[in-house]
Structure 1
Amino acid sequence: MNQPNRTPLLRMTGIVKSYPGVRALKGVDFDLRAGEIHCLIGENGAGKSTLMRVMSGAETPDAGSVEIDGKTYASLSPVLSHALGITVIYQETDLVMPLSVAENIYLGHEKVGRGGVLDRAGMRAEVVRLMQRFNLRFPIDEPVRNLGPAQRQLVQIVKAVSRDSRVVVLDEPTASLTDNEIRHLFELLAVFKAEGIGIVYVSHRLQEIIEIGDRVTIMRDGTKIETHDVKDIDENHLIEAMVGRPLEQTQHAKRASGTGKIVLSTRGLSVAGQFENVDLELRQGEVLGLGGLVGAGRSELLECLFGMSEPAAGEIHVNGARVRFRSPRDAIRAGLGLVPEERRESGLVLGRSVADNIAFPILKQISWLSLLRRSKLRDIATELVKNLRVKTPSLDQVVRTLSGGNQQKIVLAKWLAARSRILLLDEPSRGVDINAKFEIHQLIRSLVDEGVSVIMASSDMLELLSLSDRILVMAEGRAVKVLTADEASQVEVMRYAVPRASQPASQPASQSAAQSAVEHDA
């Protein structure tokens, strides 16, 4: 790893920022050197996003200063930040979907030729050069809407370089990427470092920080806790610094397996092009984990169970009765609730309040003569927000302004308000910090202890292993193996999750451990 220049390229000193009812930053110091990756970590709500927004000029600090190139500024504007070579790339892309890759890269700083006419040929030639420079191979004349998440992420990075950015801030850049795409991103960052670009890398994935970071700064509750050279620190210390308590207090013993009645089952369930011939059984008071790689069909299975797609074949039974869900409304009436992987797109109405989001599944129950009983809603929402420890200034707070962990709790809250007894969880802790993850895991355990049944798809192997009573492993749209808690390990899950020329036949998720062991030995 190249040793970065120790002279700060950018320095933030004593940054303070407050919002109504919340002091987001409490005198934070942060600096970035040329040619380094400085990682920034902390719980959702720790102040990382606010610090980035001050850096980008999107927010004006109440106090403090920003220094770059030896010149000190009380605050930056977005125009000044760009002029100084600072680019922030957020999780949610700011690309214009109908425009092509090349058009997006030069949007806002177009090249102009003689007579004020756009130099389209010049811009396209420069984009081709940039793509070759970073070994990127996807069509630059293709509309961005046709690209995958990884390619869109790379388009934003190339856009930053096209602006001659000297500081690039990446917010959770690998959240939607596969392992191969992550490797490509890391190779790209190594090129940036070699060219003297300073990189601020915000991530909850501690293994990535250990692998690629030069320094790491930990934030908690709007305060900088400490900064270390990555080579001098380990994951345990990072976790303890983020959550403010010893690591052993964040760990739990595994629950006993659910032994209740069968509350949901499928036989030969199939959706064309997504998954086929899936048999499973879910018992009262258990967590049935769905393991597998990206594209295995786990999310599609949960969506089908929730009535978002109609099966081409097979049956669904709830509490012993065959059901046919023509829409999510039918599934909700049957006692099911879905926490989708993309909570911001499918799980919440971001522009509405905390109380309104909790109300959506129970509007009929809290209305009288088509009029919403606001007092009844506030009673329900107040109790749920308290029990789930949602951090919000009030029930009227717009959900968009909450941290990812608190948004996820609101999605769960609305299904608890609806008294859902079967919860379908798709990546329940995706994009949340370690403390929110700990609280969500606690909540899932407490719900299951109360008799709620859960089917949980998770790509986080530790989450899958620690929460699941049994794990149904899927590969290429087929249910290939059921592992009990005693059988399950990372190695065993991956043994069946990796697609092979001939996978074992699908088996019901109710199959006993003894039967599974016999088939495995055979």
Structure 2
Amino acid sequence: MSTPLVEARGVAKRYGPTVALQDGRLTVLPGESHALVGRNGAGKSTLVTILTGLQAPDEGEVRFDGEPAPALTDRDAWRRKVACVYQKPTVVPELTVAENLFINRQPVGRGGFISWRRLRAEAAQVLDTWDVHVDPQARTADLKVEDRQMVEIARALSFGARFIVLDEPTAQLDNREIERLFTRMRALQESGVTFLFISHHLQEVYEVCQTVTVLRDARWITTAPVAELPRTALVEAMAGESIAERTVTHQPVAADAPVLLDARGLTSDAYEDIDLTVRHGEVVGLAGSSGSGKIELAESFAGLHTPTGGTARLDGERLSFGDVQAALRAGVACVPRDRHEQGLVSGMTIGDNTTMSVLNRLGRYGFISAARKRGFAAELIERLDIHTEGPEQPVSDLSGGNAQKVVMARALASDPRLLVLINPTAGVDVKSKESLLSRMDSASEDGTAVLVVSDELDDLRRCDRVLVLFHGRVVAEHPAGWHDHELIASIEGVDHG
């Protein structure tokens, strides 16, 4: 067997108490396309940052061609080994293709000035070498997504790198563009280029890759030839359960419960033609990969985005978009995706954070009763079982689980008609997770309509039904009692037909 082009052994990475990667392993042979798959949070991104020299592992080692990886500070050595083409382009849009190819290393002529003639000639040579049909003098912003990606690949190859990481390269491409990308990948492989291919669309793995490595729960699970791993086995490896395992009993919402949220034809840059209803007391889940549009859709109901088309009604009244205050007045409450950036005001107390959305209830004519505010906050603290010294404690002192409970407490404080939860249990301990999900259950039992977006299957297991979005469209609906492998197959775009 030939020496691996890239090898990672026993790689571990921690951020404080969070284990981002515990047993990362990868062996990529020269000239292959090797898929790296796993659900969100499995450790893929952490492994990529280590493989590309953006951070060092706490444990384990990375080797290229049998030699230890370069020192983290030797950026030129890393560029000669590996490059990553991300879903979002890293080219400078206002520069030409030639300028992007040689940014920070432009050929210099007499007098120390940039030789633009040499720059264009060398750029044309690089593009020709790797069969990239793009005008070197074209403004990069004017290129199609697939051509921008090829420019980034050509730039990496011009440094000498022969190992290219493609991170969700098809997320913004249509079917024809995807097929063209795969054709170019195969041609580059024949020229000696090796790819690490990361995609949430498992069908693409079978189309373009020879080997697949699965990560789950921050650990290596398996590496196998794609041709020898049936799709059901791949999904099982990602899910961590066999197809026969695990069903959840669930009491569905009454079929005649009135519709509270009714959205028709919602369209934006992130999603397209979405019809969605949520009944009184119903919990509806939104699932999908990171580029599916699920978060943007949920945030639209909370007033954070304005769709370009479509309408939504809440309890029969038209819902205003793009206005958080209007959404709050209409009866929408939200637990946002990032509690630190969007959910908490870190310089304020727990009491301030839990009551900021209901200050109009705690006084008159703009004057707030400190006693009523303290009492209201104390009730919320008890209701959510927030472990704290009291309402006056700074919210910045709290653990992740208790901080998330404060965000949930504020959302529930207004007795919302629609509760939008986005990754409500991300980064919290098991006990806090169960407490937060119990509050979701209680809200629905009280008649609140709940829309929950999550990458955690345990969050979605409590739903009456789960809608799966793929590239901005609803592609599947799963009633309560689904198996993990069924939902993951829909999320990953696997066609069982």
Range into which the TM-score falls when normalised by the shorter chain? 0.5 to 0.7
Q: Secondary structure at the match of 1:241?
A: helix
The change in CA–CA distance for 1:214 and 1:320 in structure 2 (over 3 A counts) is closer
Matched, 1:466 2:478: yes
1:333 aligns with 2:329: yes
Amino acid paired to 1:28: G
- Report the 3-state secondary structure (helix = DSSP H, G, I; strand = E; otherwise coil) of the residue aligned with 1:39: strand
Residues in 2 aligned to 1:322 and 1:313: alpha-carbon distance in whole angstroms: 14
In structure 2, the partner of 1:64 is 60
Amino acid at match of 1:459: F
- For residues 460-499 of structure 1, the aligned pairs below 5 Å read 464-466=476-478
User: How much has 1:221 moved relative to structure 2?
Assistant: 3.1
Provide the rounded CA distance (Å) in 1 between the counterparts of 2:238 and 2:328.
37
Q: Sort the Cα spacing of 1:245 and 1:378 in 2 relative to 1 into closer, same or farther, 3 A.
A: farther
Kept in 2, the 8 Å contact 1:57–1:78? The answer is no
Contact 2:468 2:474 in 1 (8 A): no
Q: Is the 8 A contact 2:345 2:353 kept in 1?
A: no
Cα 1:236–1:78 change in 2 (3 A) is: farther
Aligned counterpart, 2:356: 363
Distance 2:275 2:59 in 1: 60
Amino acid at match of 2:56: T
Counterpart contact for 1:56–1:77, Cα < 8 Å:
no
Determine the structure 1 residue equivalent to 2:186. 190
2:272 is equivalent to residue 260 of structure 1: no
State the AA in 1 paired with 2:477. Answer: L
Total equivalences in the alignment: 422
- How far does residue 25 in structure 1 lie from its aligned partner after superposition? 3.3
- The offset of 1:79, in angstroms, is 0.8
The one-letter code of the counterpart of 2:117 is A
Could you tell me which of 130, 138, 142 is aligned with 1:141?
A: 138
**Worse overlay, 86-95 or 32-41:** 86-95
CA distance in 2, matches of 1:169, 1:52: 8
- CA contact under 8 A between 1:355 and 1:377: conserved in structure 2? no
Aligned letter for 1:233? L
1:263 maps to a residue whose letter is L
Q: Would the alpha carbon gap of residues 396 and 48 (structure 1) be closer, same or farther in structure 2, given more than 3 Å must change?
A: same
Q: Are the equivalent residues in 2 in contact too, given 1:60–1:75 (CA < 8 A)? A: no
Whether the 8 Å CA contact 2:80–2:159 is kept in 1: the answer is no
Q: Deviations over 1:173-208 (max 9, x none)?
A: 223333233222222221221111121112232222
The code of the aligned residue for 2:81 comes to: G
Compute the displacement of 1:130 (Å). Answer: 5.0
Instruction: State the 1:36 CA deviation.
Output: 0.4
Asked if structure 1 preserves the Cα contact closer than 8 Å seen for 2:91 and 2:140, the reply is no
- 2:156 equivalent in structure 1: 160
Give the residue type in structure 2 aligned to 1:363.
M
User: What is the match of residue 92 of structure 2?
Assistant: 96
Per-residue deviation, residues 68-110 of structure 1 (Å, max 9, x unmatched) = 2342348544515434321123344433344344333322333
Q: Distance in 2 between matches of 1:183 and 1:413?
A: 48
With over 3 angstroms needed to count, the CA separation of the structure-2 counterparts of 1:116 and 1:449, relative to structure 1, is farther
Shift of 1:116: 2.8
Cα distance in 2 between the residues matched to 1:311 and 1:72: 50
Describe the SS at the equivalent of 2:105: coil
Could you say if the C-alpha distance between residues 261 and 96 of structure 1 is closer, same or farther in structure 2, counting changes exceeding 3 Å? same
What is the match of residue 392 of structure 2? none
SS in structure 1 at match of 2:103:
coil
Q: Distance in 1 between matches of 2:474 and 2:268?
A: 31
Distance 1:64 1:266 in 2: 50
1:289-335 Cα distance to aligned partner (Å, 9 max, x none): 99xxxxxx999998876657889999865323456567232023212
Secondary structure of the structure 2 residue equivalent to 1:466: strand
Contact 1:41–1:48 (CA<8 Å) still a contact in 2?
yes
SS of 2:227's equivalent in the other structure is helix
- Counterpart of 1:485? none
| Conservation of the 8 A alpha-carbon contact between 1:24 and 1:47 | yes
Alpha-carbon contact 1:39-1:217 (below 8 Å) kept: yes
1:28–1:275: structure 2 CA closer, same or farther, 3 Å change rule?
Answer: closer
Q: Is the 8 A contact 1:101 1:139 kept in 2?
A: yes
2:166 equivalent in structure 1: 170
List gaps (5 residues or longer) in structure 2.
287-292, 363-367, 388-396, 425-433, 452-466, 481-489, 491-497
Question: Could you tell me which residue of structure 2 aligns to residue 34 of structure 1?
Answer: 30
Q: CA deviation at 1:166?
A: 0.9
- Alignment partners' CA distance in 1, 2:151 and 2:407: 31
1:274-353 correspondence runs (5 A): 283-285=279-281, 317-321=313-317, 327-336=323-332, 348=338
- d(CA) in 2 for partners of 1:210 and 1:153? 21
Structure 1 residues not aligned, in runs of 5+: 291-296, 386-393, 399-406, 430-438, 469-489, 491-522
The residue aligned with 1:241 is 237
Does residue 7 (structure 1) correspond to residue 7 (structure 2)? The answer is: no
* RMSD (Å), alpha carbons: 5.5
CA shift at 1:8, angstroms? 1.0
Could you tell which deviates more after superposition, 351-360 or 452-461? 351-360
